[in-house]
Amino acid sequence: MKSQFDDFCNLHAAQSAANSAPGPRTVPGRIIAVPGTVSAALQTLIAAPYRTPAWDADPQTPAAWKELVSQLAADTRKQVQTSCGRLGVTLQPDIIEGVAVYRIRPRTIAPEHRNRLLVNTHGGGYVYNPGEAGALEGVLMAGFAQCEVLSIDYRMPPDHPFPAGLNDAVKVWKAVVAERNPRQIGLFGSSAGGGLAVATVLRAQAENVPLPGALSLGSPWVDLTQTGDTYQTNEWLDNILVSYRGYASRAAKLYANGHSLSDPLISPIHGEFRDFPPTILNSGTRDLLLSLTVLTHRKLRRAGVRAELQVYEGMSHCQYMSDPACPESEEAFTEISRFFDEHLES
């Protein structure tokens, strides 16, 4: 009867032979357990099946894209409404310079945050989460940080590819800093929203517009090409994005609309980060975009920018937004709020 030791000896021999010369690493197939080092709530999220059809969607026409986006947005809106109730947050739609936004306010604003405004560029691969569905991250931030949030409902493909969304974000940013002290304003976003936040800062620099006092980037999609080690190491392990070869690669092309994916305003990792505001970055050990988060952090540091990296055990892509009852979710937003406290004027 074969023992586990015998199995390991056979695997050891096979792996040693397969990796005996310099080159790509050969890794055996294996089953990876849910870590016991995180909260029960996060363990449930980690154990959840892949999000279908979100991750592997392959719409062939603009109409098919719109149908998919509408279907997923309906579910996300329910999550937004539940989170509003749980955290005591209200949503108010508004228009700024022709751009749809949501003003998000908690029941109680912390005294030290009375003059603070946090501006959000939502995630969703530049195609998902239109309307109220895009306000989820803003709701969580307003609730946990006890401050006012402005969420930008920027235009998206298939009707409005690049640079429409970026133009919307820049319009709103210009309007906001024209009325308020930019040193009291933070800009934050996750995934595509993180990439859009970086691109917004690049545009603001180019147009001599005041920059935010601080920046928060959650697993930022700052390179729309398949660049970064964890696109390989965390493929099939991340249960949110799962694989770049799913919808992400198709959304990238839809958003770019014929422009180069290496354009610094599409993939802002290729931009210049000198004189960026202090930045906090968040990711997880199972995040498909962990490498992009790390690369962004290192590039900011090399540019002399104060940058802080927070990595959470077991989390997949932006999983800190999946359940406001999860202790790690509250921890993530509390850390971001603490960073804003350190770098924004009161």
Question: What is the rounded average pLDDT of the residues 206-224?
Answer: 99
Give me the pLDDT at residue 4, please.
64
pLDDT at 203 over 70: yes
Whole-number pLDDT of residue 6: 72
Residue 11 pLDDT class (50, 70, 90 cuts): confident
pLDDT for position 5: 67
pLDDT at 55: 86
Q: By the 8 A CB rule, do 281 and 220 touch?
A: yes
pLDDT at residue 282, as a whole number? 98
Catalogue the long-range contacts made by 64-69 (C-beta closer than 8 Å, 24 or more residues apart).
Answer: 65/127, 65/157, 65/158, 65/254, 66/158, 69/127, 69/128, 69/130
Other beta carbons within 10 Å of 166: 22
Q: Is the pTM of this model over 0.75?
A: yes
Q: What is the pLDDT of residue 12?
A: 86
Is residue 1 scored above 80 in pLDDT?
A: no
Whether residue 157 is predicted with pLDDT greater than 90 in this model: the reply is yes
pLDDT digits (tens, 9 = 90+) for 56-65: 889 999 999 9
Per-residue model confidence (pLDDT) at position 28: 84
Helix axes 192-206, 164-179, angle to 10 degrees: 60
The mean pLDDT value for 263-273 works out to 98
pLDDT tens digits, one per residue of 312-328: 999 999 999 999 999 99
More confident residue, 27 or 242: 242
For residue 199, what are the contacts with CB-CB under 8 A and spacing of at least 6? 166, 169, 264, 265, 266, 268, 271
What domains appear along the chain, each with residue ranges and CATH number?
A: 58-343 (3.40.50.1820)
Average pLDDT of span 4-13: 80
Structure confidence by residue, pLDDT tens digits, 166-181: 999 999 999 999 999 9
Q: Tell me the per-residue pLDDT of 41-87, one tens digit each, with 9 for 90 and over.
A: 999 999 999 987 878 889 999 999 999 999 999 999 999 999 999 99
Q: How many residues comprise the chain?
A: 346
Residues 84-119 pLDDT 10s: 999 999 999 999 999 999 999 999 999 999 999 999
- Mean pLDDT for the chain overall: 96
pLDDT tens for 19-33 read 989 999 888 888 999
Contacts of 274 (CB under 8 A, 6+ apart): 303, 304, 305
What was the pLDDT predicted at 10?
86
Q: What is the 3-state secondary structure (H, E, C) of the chain?
A: CCCHHHHHHHHHHHHHHHCCCCCCCCCCCCCCCCCCCCCHHHHHHHHCCCCCCCCCCCCCCHHHHHHHHHHHHHHHHHHHHHHHHHHCEEEEEEEECCEEEEEEEECCCCHHHCCCEEEEECCCCCCCCCHHHHHHHHHHHHHHHCCEEEEECCCCCCCCCCCHHHHHHHHHHHHHHHHCCHHHEEEEEECHHHHHHHHHHHHHHHCCCCCCCEEEEECCCCCCCCCCCHHHHCCCCCCCCCCCCCHHHHHHHHHHCCCCCCCCCCCHHHCCCCCCCCEEEEEECCCCCHHHHHHHHHHHHHCCCCEEEEEECCCCCCHHHCCCCCHHHHHHHHHHHHHHHHHCCC
pLDDT of residue 303: 98
